[in-house]
């Protein structure tokens, strides 16, 4: 027997509709009947139907109205049309209106049964596509941000919360922490994802060129301006504009930015016409803007305007547990690019990678992994495949960019503990190793909590409490670990 369906049968020939309904019930379908538009709409308001099978002529009423009503109010329902006056034009019109198929009276049982089966199959495919799209959307924009650190998980929650907000977002963090990726993730998870995402590195341009880049210019605005040019704000209209290194903007540029962020209006360089845009603005910096405000180098009013939502990205040395996950990802990418078979780093090399302070953060780690894959002649990467600064053999030119702990020895390897315990209580210092031990055991036991508790020789209640305290109870962790 074919898969059963819930069907609304609509025809003004009451004897015909009752006969069809009886036959459809006999072959396993659930059937409701109606003989007019109002009756059909009332049934749809009370019940959910997989299919509506309707005649095009319902006394003085038009079956096309029921097709339109169903497509608008019940888009999950498939419509089959039956008529005794079918023409090629009628069929085309019915399909355009939203009908799945058109059947000609008198109906043959096998023909109707086949049409219902096709419609049910189409419904199943549509539902499966919707579920797949939802699963993809659940990580949309985040698929390239690899982490199982609880701080990053909280940032993912913030991204979900603010994705559709109009308010400006300020992303702060050290160089190489992935500010651009977070900005793009916010865009991709918003209703603007089908519109442009435009990125501008403010620190790469002098003030006059930055103004032209952002707002555009008219012909003759400056030497070399041989024609009108549209700026990034207009290019990002209806989409997102990402302004990186906003801390480098001069005082004059800050005034112009404040106005456009307040009013979303501006004039092109050298022009007099006021342009209005609907552009979502995300800004980023690796500088301490609050200190810049105190020192007078950054406008206080602009700071408050852009700092409505502040996403602070942790450095890589603060999420040392993510290093193996990131290394594995970068290894696979580099090995595929170089057409190499690489198994990975050995234990000592991985411990050294986790002990290093990573002043260049994720970007530096990616470069180190790519270098190792390129230069190594072996399938297993070792300490000898790491650059001298990682091993402490030469001074790291980037080391001054991060605070150092007195007496810290970056050569001292450890696999699960943070690089520094400065200003931490004993409980805080132990959270890192404890989290890594539990996480490792959960992975080893395929996230079976009972087996994990037995392996760790603690009861399940204790395990659940620890998982909640350490941020391991987020179900997305399992997806992140598999990714």
Same domain (yes/no): 178, 48: no
> Is 433 found in the same domain as 460?
yes
Residue 450 belongs to some domain of the structure: yes
- Residue 172: φ, ψ to 5°: -120, 150
- State the pairing for strand pair 57-58/6-10: unpaired
The reply to whether 163 and 255 lie within a common domain is: yes
Q: What is the pTM of this model?
A: 0.58
Tokens standing for 64?
Answer: 């096309």
Judge if 101 and 156 occupy the same domain: no
Residue 413 lies in a domain: no
We report the CATH number of the domain holding residue 30 as: 3.40.50.2300
Is residue 145 one of the residues assigned to a domain? no
Q: Is 360 contained in some domain?
A: yes
Domain boundary, last residue among 398, 432, 466: 398
Whether 246 is in a domain gets the answer yes
User: Domain boundary at 264, 281, 314, which?
Assistant: 314
Q: The domain containing residue 355 runs over which residues? A: 316-398
Partnered with residue 57 across adjacent β-strands are: 62
Q: Name the 3-class secondary structure at 247.
A: helix
What was the pLDDT predicted at 232?
Answer: 94
Query: Measured between alpha carbons, how far is residue 309 from residues 86, 127, 161, 298, 314 in Å?
Result: 60, 36, 11, 18, 16
Give the integer Cα–Cα distance in Å for 112 and 121: 14
pLDDT of residue 132: 57
H/E run at residue 309: strand 309-312
Question: Residue 271 is part of a domain; what is its CATH number?
Answer: 3.40.50.300
Say which CATH number the domain at 364 has. Answer: 1.10.8.60
Q: Tell me how many domains the chain contains.
A: 4
- Can you give the CATH number for the domain in which 483 is found? 1.10.10
351 and 414 Cβ atoms separated by less than 8 Å: yes
Could you tell me if 68 and 194 lie in one domain?
A: no
Asked if the structure places residue 403 within a domain, the reply is no
331 in the same domain as 308: no
**Is the domain of 185 the same as that of 111?**
no
pLDDT of residue 418: 42
| C-alpha angle 267-271-276 in degrees, rounded to nearest 5 | 30
Residue that is last in its domain, among 110, 136, 162? 136
CA–CA separation, 476 and 137 (whole Å): 13
- Token pair listed for 244: 């990186």
Query: Does residue 89 sit in the same domain as residue 226?
Result: no
Q: Indicate if 338 and 207 belong to the same structural domain.
A: no
Query: 269 near 289, Cβ under 8 Å?
Result: no
Q: Where are the alpha helices (DSSP H) in 321-448?
A: 323-338, 347-355, 361-375, 388-391, 426-444
Whether 339 and 309 map to the same domain: the answer is no
pLDDT of residue 331: 93
Angle, nearest 10°, between helix axes 109-137 and 14-26?
70
Q: Are residue 449 and residue 467 in the same domain, yes or no?
A: yes
Residues 379 and 469 in one domain: no
**What was the pLDDT predicted at 112?**
82
**Quick check: is 22 in a domain?**
yes
Q: Block means of pLDDT (10 residues each) for the chain, length 483 residues?
A: 78 85 89 89 90 83 85 86 74 80 80 84 70 50 73 90 91 93 92 92 85 91 85 94 94 93 92 93 94 94 94 92 91 89 91 91 94 92 92 65 44 39 68 83 82 87 86 68 40
């Amino acid at each position: 027997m074919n898969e059963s369906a819930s069907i609304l049968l609509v025809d003004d020939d009451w004897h015909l509709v009752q006969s069809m309904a009886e036959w459809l019930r006999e072959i396993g379908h659930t059937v409701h009947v109606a003989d007019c538009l109002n009756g059909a709409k009332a049934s749809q308001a009370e019940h959910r139907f997989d299919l509506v099978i309707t005649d095009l002529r319902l006394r003085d009423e038009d079956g096309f109205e029921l097709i339109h009503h169903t497509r608008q109010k019940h888009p999950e329902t498939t419509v089959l049309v039956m008529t005794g006056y079918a023409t090629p034009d009628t069929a085309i019109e019915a399909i355009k209106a939203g009908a799945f198929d058109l059947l000609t009276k008198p109906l043959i049982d096998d023909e109707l049964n086949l049409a219902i089966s096709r419609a049910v199959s189409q419904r199943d495919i549509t539902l499966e596509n919707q579920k797949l799209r939802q699963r993809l959307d659940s990580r949309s924009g985040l698929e390239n941000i690899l982490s199982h650190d609880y701080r990053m998980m909280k940032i993912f929650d913030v991204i979900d919360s603010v994705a559709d907000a109009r308010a400006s977002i300020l992303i702060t963090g050290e160089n190489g922490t992935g500010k651009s990726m977070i900005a793009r993730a916010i865009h991709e998870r918003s209703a603007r994802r089908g519109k442009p995402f435009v990125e501008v590195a403010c620190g790469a341009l002098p003030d006059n060129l930055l103004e032209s880049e952002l707002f555009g210019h008219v012909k003759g605005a400056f030497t070399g301006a041989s024609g009108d040019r549209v700026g990034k704000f207009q290019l990002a209209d209806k989409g997102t504009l990402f302004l990186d290194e906003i801390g480098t903007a001069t005082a004059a540029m800050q005034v112009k930015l404040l106005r456009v962020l307040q009013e979303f209006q501006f004039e092109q360089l050298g022009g007099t016409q006021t342009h209005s845009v609907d552009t979502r603005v995300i800004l980023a910096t690796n500088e301490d803007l609050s200190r810049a405000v105190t020192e007078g180098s950054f406008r206080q009013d602009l700071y408050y305007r852009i700092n409505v939502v502040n996403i602070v990205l942790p450095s890589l040395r603060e999420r040392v547990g993510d290093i193996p996950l990131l290394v594995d990802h970068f290894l696979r990418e580099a090995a595929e690019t170089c057409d190499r078979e690489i198994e990975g780093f050995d234990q000592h090399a991985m411990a050294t990678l986790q002990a290093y302070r990573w002043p260049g953060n994720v970007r530096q780690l990616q470069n180190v992994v790519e270098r190792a894959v390129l230069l190594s002649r072996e399938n297993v990467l070792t300490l000898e495949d790491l650059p001298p600064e990682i091993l402490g053999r030469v001074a790291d030119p980037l080391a001054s960019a991060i605070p150092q702990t007195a007496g810290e020895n970056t050569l001292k390897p450890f696999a699960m503990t943070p690089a520094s315990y400065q200003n931490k209580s004993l409980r805080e210092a132990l959270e890192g190793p404890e989290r890594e031990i539990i996480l490792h055991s959960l992975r080893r036991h395929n996230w079976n909590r009972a087996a994990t508790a037995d392996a760790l020789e603690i009861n399940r209640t204790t395990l659940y409490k620890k998982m909640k305290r350490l941020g391991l109870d987020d179900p997305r962790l399992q997806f992140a670990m598999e990714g």
